[in-house]
Amino acid sequence: MNRFEGRRVLITGAGSGIGQATVHRILAEGGRVVAADVDAAGLEATAARAAADGAAGRLRTAVLDIADEAAVRSGVAAAVDGLGGLDVLVNAAGILRSAHTHETGLELFNAIIATNLTGTFLMIREALPALLEGASPVVVNFSSTSASFAHPYMAAYAASKGGIQSMTHAIAAEYGKQGLRAVCVAPGSIASGMTSGRGPGLPEDADMSLFAKLAPALGEGFAGPETVAGVIAMLASEDGAFITGTEIRIDGGTHM
**Residues of this chain that bind ligand NAD (CB under 6 A):** 12-13, 15-19, 37-39, 42, 64-67, 92-96, 115, 119, 142, 144, 187-190, 192-195, 198, 225
Q: How far is the CB of 232 from ligand NAD (least distance, A)?
A: 10
Neighbours of 234 (CB within 10 A): 15
DSSP state letter for 190: B
Q: Which is nearer to ligand NAD, 88 or 92 (CB)?
A: 92
H/E element, 12: strand 8-12
CB-nearer residue toward ligand NAD: 115 or 237? 115
Helix (H) or strand (E) holding 18: helix 17-28
Annotated active-site residue 153? The verdict is: no
Question: Is 253:217 a contact under the CB 8 Å cutoff?
Answer: yes
Angle of CA points 172, 173, 178, to nearest 5°: 80
- CA–CA separation, 195 and 179 (whole Å): 35
Q: Least distance (Å) from ligand NAD to the CB of residue 20?
A: 7
Using DSSP's 3-state secondary structure scheme, residue 234 falls into helix
3-state secondary structure at position 58 = helix
Give the full edge-to-edge strand order of the sheet including 138-142: 59-63, 32-37, 8-12, 88-91, 138-142, 181-187, 247-250
Nearer to ligand NAD, 70 or 132 (CB): 70
- For residue 1, the minimal CB distance to ligand NAD (Å) is 23
- Other beta carbons within 10 angstroms of residue 106's beta carbon come to 7
Closest residue to ligand NAD, Cβ-based?
17
Nearest distance, CB of residue 121 and ligand NAD, angstroms: 13
Considering beta carbons, is residue 30 or 253 the nearer one to ligand NAD? 253
C-beta closer to ligand NAD: residue 112 or 131: 112
Q: Which of 4, 109, 121, 157 is catalytic?
A: 157
- In sequence order, which residues have a C-beta less than 8 Å from that of residue 159 and are 6 or more positions away? 113, 117
Q: Mind telling me the catalytic residues?
A: 157
